[in-house]
Amino acid sequence: MQRARRTQKDIFTEVIEKIQLLTPSQQRFLQEILSHPEKVSIASKKKLLKKSFGIWADRKDVKESTEYVNDIRKGWQARLDRIKA
C-alpha cells in the first residue's frame, strides 16, 4: 500500500511538471476543459475542438507542421524496420 501511494505521488508530480512546460495558451485550454468535468455534448465537443486549433502556435520547437509530422513518421518507419529485422 505504501508503494502504491508513493507511485501515485510520483505520477502527480510528473503531471504537474508537464503542465508547467505547456505554453500559457495550452494551460488555459487545459484549465477550461478540467473546470467542466460534466458530460459534454457533441456540439460542445465541436466547440472545444475548434478552440483547440492553434494550440501549438506558441511552441518554439515546432517550426513547420508538415515537416514536423514527416519527422515523426520517419521515426515510426525506422522503428518498424528495426522490429521487422
Each residue's pLDDT tens digit, 25-66: 888 888 888 887 676 677 777 887 777 777 767 777 777 778
Q: Is the pTM of this model over 0.85?
A: no
Q: Which three cell numbers stand for residue 85?
A: 529485422
Which strand (E) or helix (H) includes residue 58? none
With CA atoms as reference, report the closest residue to 62 among 35, 49, 54.
54
| Number of C-beta neighbours around residue 22 at 10 A | 15
Contacts 24+ apart (CB under 8 A), 12-16: none
